[in-house]
Structure formats: C-alpha cells, structure tokens
A and B are shown apart, each in its own frame.
Chain A
C-alpha cells in the first residue's frame, strides 16, 4: 500500500518568513496530492491540491510543487502570519475520478508555529 512520509514534524518561523513542508510517497500510481490544515479542535480543511499532470500550483500565499520522478511534493507558504499556525498534513491517493479520491494516505503531520 501507499506510504507517505512528511518532514519536518515541527516547524517554527517568524511572521513574514516562508515555510516549506516536504512529503514523499511510495506508490507511483498515486496521482492526487492534497494538503490539509487542521486548527486546534477542528477537523482538517483542504487548502490546496495538485494532480499528477501538473508540476506546480499556486493560490495566493500558498504553492505546491510535485516531482513525479522523485515521488515527492512540497507545500510552500510565503509571508507567514500567526493565523497560519496549525497542523498541516500532506496526503496521496490514486483517485482519478471515481471513489478512490477519498482513500487518502496521510503524512504524519507538521506542527507549524508562526511567531509574531
């Protein structure tokens, strides 16, 4: 089955700095890579996702890059703000339409702390 490794487990940055979280996956058939943000006491919420036919995707301060050959993908947050502090999860699945989307294999999570 799929295995997703996520690093670092904790990340502490100053407000305004950039933050980068990296993930690797094992199953070359995986083609859908979402990132979720989980705030304290809440459920995870999708912040950005990327499919394997795209190498990079950007949404305001958040970007994700995907290297299919190396089987790794990364989340980049620029100009971090204290409200970015949360646990971030990467995930992978072989969903390409159909019901496989939701069978996500999650990484271990990264606790991001942004200091004012």
Chain B
C-alpha cells in the first residue's frame, strides 16, 4: 500500500487553465504539506495543514488554493496557470510531534 499517494503523476496543460492535484495519506498522520520542486531541484514549502486547519502559508500566489476535506486528504487547486508554475509538486505528511516527512512520488506539472 502506498503511504502518500498523489494524482495525477503527470499533468500537461495550457496557460490560463485551472487544474487540481490530489493527495491522500494512509499513515494516520495529522499534518500534511505541499512542497514545490523547481527545475533546479530546489524544494520549497508552500502550505501545511494540521487537522484540516491551515498552519503554514508561504508567499504563494493566491491562484494556489489548498483544500483539506479531512486529515487524510490535501488537494491543491491552481487557477489561471502560468509558465512559471511548471514544476514537480510534492505532497507530504507527518505526525505533528515527530520530524520525519513522508513524501509522495510527486506530480509533474508542465504549463505550455
């Protein structure tokens, strides 16, 4: 069983479109995250939810809107996609009081 699963794995779309990436974890963790990895492999946190509440919101354009329907799911919706949004987006989860993040396999977004 995959611990943190993301869908889709690949996403190719046109500028201006709206798209969503879904994430689910079956580890029983209470904190979930979205990280962005750019073409130079640089990893940067975007959002974090703890028990469905937003706790970290880095300086991310408001075109990006995370949604956590329950502790096991954290989705990312992106409006009006731009070329610079092309990246690999990683979902991760952790137990609140322990350090280890468990990452999904990533969703590669390409905006044409």
Contacts and interface: CB of A to CB of B under 8 A. Distances in A.
Interface stretch (A14-22, A43-51, A75-83): A43-51
Contacts of B56: 99, 102-103
A87 interface: yes
Contact of B99 (A43, A44, A45, A49): A49
6 contacts: A49-B99, A87-B41, A102-B48, A104-B45, A108-B40, A108-B41
Contact of A108 (B31, B42, B97, B98): B42
Contacts of B55: 99
From B40, B43, B55, B103, name the one whose CB has the most chain A CB atoms within 10 angstroms. B43
B41 A102 contact: no
B30 to A, nearest CB: 9
Interface of A: 32, 34, 36, 38, 41-46, 49, 87, 89, 93, 95, 97-99, 101-104, 106, 108-109
B interface residue count range (under 10 / 10 to 19 / 20 to 34 / 35 or more): 20 to 34
A101 B94 contact: yes
Interface of B: 4, 31, 33, 40-45, 48, 50, 55-56, 90, 92, 94, 96-101, 103-106
Nearest to A49: B99
Contacts of B90: 43-44
Contact of B48 (A87, A89, A99): A99
B33 A102 contact: yes
The 3 closest A-B pairs by CB, nearest first: A43-B103, A106-B43, A109-B41
A14 B50 CA distance: 44
A24 to B, nearest CB: 16
B100 A46 contact: yes
